[in-house]
A and B are shown apart, each in its own frame.
Chain A
Amino acid sequence: MTSRSSKTRLQLVAVGAVLTLGAAACGGSSGGGGSGSKASAPGVTATTVTIGSHQPLTGPAAPGYSEIAPAAEAMFKYINDGGGIHGRTIQYKYKDDGYNPANTVDVVKQLVLQDKVFAIFNGLGTPTHSKVTDYLNQSRVPDLFVASGARLWDDPKKHPYTFGWQPDYLIEGKILGKYIKENFAGKKVGYLYQNDDFGKDGVAGLDSQLDASTVVDKQPYETSQLAQPTGIAAQLSTLKAKGAEIVVSFSIPAATAVALLTNLKIGFKPQMVVSNVGSDSTTLTGLLGKFSKGAVGAQLLNGLVSDSYLPLTSDTADPWITLFKKIHDKYIPSLPFDGNVEYGMSAAYTFAQALDAAGDNPTRQSLIDAVEKGGFKGPGVVPFRFSKDSHAGYTGVRIVQLDGKGVATFKSDASVTTDETSGSIDPAPGGAQGKPGDDAFLKP
């Protein structure tokens, strides 16, 4: 009888002991940082700046996008090997979230609370990153250059710490819509879009340009459908039945590849127009080969229209491409040299510029001020919009077209557009592109 009650007590003690051990374990792990004279902010020591990111290293968005963070890290390593920024090296911690919003919340809290990063950089994905913007802004953590073109990131009043980077999907939708109207006049258009702010912003841009009578149908897809045997066949069959001659697709690469293969299967041959983020030809060629077990490849990309705001990776005369190739060959030779690598390196370069502009002893606020001051010039062929009133990045794109080998060529000059749906579409101003070596920290 007494043994019973003492046993209960012992169990209670055991639970208490476990909890106390947990607490003790934590006491040991928090720490780090902080001792150097120039440790001006969380994540900043006399010799390092630690930043973090969430990336889809696995899951539906991994094909292609999983190269972005290693490419950004390669750019940081190149800069670090050249002396870093104000004598500090950039340490880049990126964690896998599998393109699953629930994981994004976990890894971002881990980066902010446990790893105590200075800033979150290039967090990838609309459905994922939209779940952490409130948290990052409440915690006053700079949230720079989100790897998504949703318009969610450009809201300086509500989210003063969040900045976009690539042209938003509305801009893209508008410019693609205008190109369709001018070059495929009178043809019937169908939309395929990811059912979130990524796809919906693109649709809003397209709708602002295309005559509603030419748009026969709008079909949303869910990323989880891509892994299912039926895929997105229902959507494309509907577009085929409605007589669409052009299919505009705001899709991630895996969805674009599934759409192209589905079209082949159901004998649907529309002119494909695909948003920048879903059209990298190296990634698509790889996916087409993998999904069809080698039966088809780049030939399905023939004639595909897309857009870009960075130089073409095939343009070896461009000094940025030369530099990126050099960094690629030195640090990440096992990855293909494609648009994803170019994207990661370009975004990392803009971050380095912002950190450089944030001063000798950067603080979270000085970093934000530096981006709001703007004026960055890099590989992009269009200017940034960054200012106190706008946290949007690149302001426009150029139309490109792929051939049967997946090689892209420019079909138009770069266009820029104002943010509002009604804003006009104008030729991009000259001189938007910078040169490698403009900034002392990056030696070409």
Chain B
Amino acid sequence: MSVLTLTRRGPLANTLVRHLAFAVLGGVVLFFLTSTVSAYRDFQIANVGYYVVAVAGLTVLTGLNGQISLGHGALMMVGAYTAALLLERDNPLPLVVVLLLSVAVTAAVGALVGAAAARLRGPYLAGATLAFAVGLPGLTSHYADTFGGDNGLNVLTGPPPERLGLDFPPERWQAWITLTAALITLVLLANLASSRVGRSFRAVRDDEVSAELAGIHVARTQVLAFIISAACAGLAGGLTAVVSGQVSPGAFSVALSLSILAGAVLGGLGSLTGAVYGAIALVLMPSISSSASDRFTLSTDVQHNLPLLVYGALLIVVMLAAPQGLQGGVRRLFGLLRGRAPVTSVRNESVTEVSVTDPER
């Protein structure tokens, strides 16, 4: 592991204070951003918000702890259906409580999956989580009376609070909800990554035997990473239910699991900043490629498949040009600008990324 010793002075030396300062700054920027853009952009930003939560959760699992999951779409589904069923009742609980319960329920499911996952490695782990993603949506048809089958459930979230004014766009309100959740998640995950727990995650990822020799309980650490990651997926799922106003199995197909992973890889595995890029790409790419296919009159078959094609092509280009994802590319660019040799090893790359905010290193 490449270790650079550095120290920091002043109030920003405290990790939590520094992360909170960034979050507040980001919140202010986003407040002005959401207040100036059109309702449709706010809707897209709301979508970015929950994707950030999901991708950040996965990037911690895969990038920091070295476990792959192709089942995060299904975990989002757990969170989304939890929120939908809770909001369906006559006197629904406050949204914050509903979302926290989504997190709790999904974390519990994540503990079960994680316990199994901790015994599996590489392709077996990928296969097991993939089976979870394939199988879970089928449950909705089995218990159609509760989950509404393929038809799904409507989610009533109500209009924005009245004190914001009657004409306040609901899309902006939803963007605020998901962005707040995203900022909180990012602060928590950034702190986690630079904490003792985060270091034990990386230790287990890099070498399980030496981690064990250092006194780290490997299986327990892996299950913990899975639970934290699942909790993020659950929150993201609850937020999708709120933004989309519905839950249905079609929204949580295997394609969702794969695109969350693609988002994490695209942004740069293990990097929380990369998770933000990845989430933006996940939202923008389909709409860019679909408007491109609208412009040129194409046959329906071509038009329908073009977004996927563009998506795949972009993934390949990014992987070729910036093997460490967009964030890796950005970092290398700044390195070049300052005349510094780029860091090349993938593993070191993700470590240094996290250690940016780690003063103890």
Contacts and interface: CB of A to CB of B under 8 A. Distances in A.
Interface string A337-372: 000000000000000000000000000000000000
Given A100-B248, A101-B251, A195-B151, A4 B38 contact: no
A12 B151 contact: no
B289 interface: no
- Dominant secondary structure of chain A at its interface with chain B: helix
A171 B280 CA distance: 47
A186 interface: no
Interface string B309-333: 0000000000000000001001100
Interface stretch (A217-225, A236-244, A279-287, A391-399): A217-225
Contact of B150 (A12, A20, A196): A196
Contacts of B327: 11
A106 B243 CA distance: 10
Interface stretch (B28-36, B53-61, B90-98, B228-236): B28-36
Given A127-B150, A195-B150, A105 B245 contact: yes
B42 to A, nearest CB: 8
B246 A131 contact: yes
Interface stretch (B117-125, B152-160, B198-206, B212-220): B152-160
A113 B148 CA distance: 29
B248 A101 contact: yes
Contact of A19 (B8, B33, B144, B171): B33
Interface string B296-312: 00001001100000000
A440 interface: no
Nearest to A125: B151
A137 to B, nearest CB: 12
A15 B170 CA distance: 25
Nearest to B273: A11
B151 A101 contact: yes
B40 A109 contact: yes
Interface in B315-355: 327, 330-331, 334, 338, 340
B250 A222 contact: no
Contacts of B25: 12
A290 to B, nearest CB: 15
B185 interface: no
A8 interface: yes
Interface in B11-33: 12, 22, 25-26, 29-30, 33
Given A10-B334, A66-B300, A225 B248 contact: no
B334 A223 contact: no
Contact of B38 (A30, A66, A195): A30
Interface string A1-26: 10111011011101110111011001
Interface string A84-107: 000000000000101011110110
- Dominant secondary structure of chain B at its interface with chain A: helix
A110 interface: yes
A8 B8 contact: no
Contact of B37 (A26, A58, A196): A26
A138 interface: yes
A102 B30 contact: no
A1 B303 CA distance: 51
A124 to B, nearest CB: 15
Contacts of A3: 338, 340
A5 B141 contact: no
A131 B150 CA distance: 12
A223 B150 CA distance: 7
Contacts of A29: 38
Interface in A58-95: 58, 66
Given A18-B280, A131-B154, A134-B156, A1 B7 contact: yes
B236 to A, nearest CB: 14
A8 B246 contact: no
Contacts of A27: 37
A130 B149 contact: no
B39 interface: yes
A224 B150 contact: yes
Which 6 interchain pairs have the tightest Cβ spacing?
Answer: A102-B251, A113-B40, A196-B151, A100-B250, A131-B246, A26-B41
Interface of B: 4, 6-8, 12, 22, 25-26, 29-30, 33, 36-41, 43, 137-138, 141, 144, 148-152, 154, 156, 159, 170-171, 244-246, 248-251, 273, 276-277, 280, 284, 287, 300, 303-304, 327, 330-331, 334, 338, 340, 356-357
Interface of A: 1, 3-5, 7-8, 10-12, 14-16, 18-20, 22-23, 26-27, 29-30, 57-58, 66, 96, 98, 100-103, 105-106, 109-110, 113-114, 126-127, 130-132, 134-135, 138, 195-197, 220, 222-225
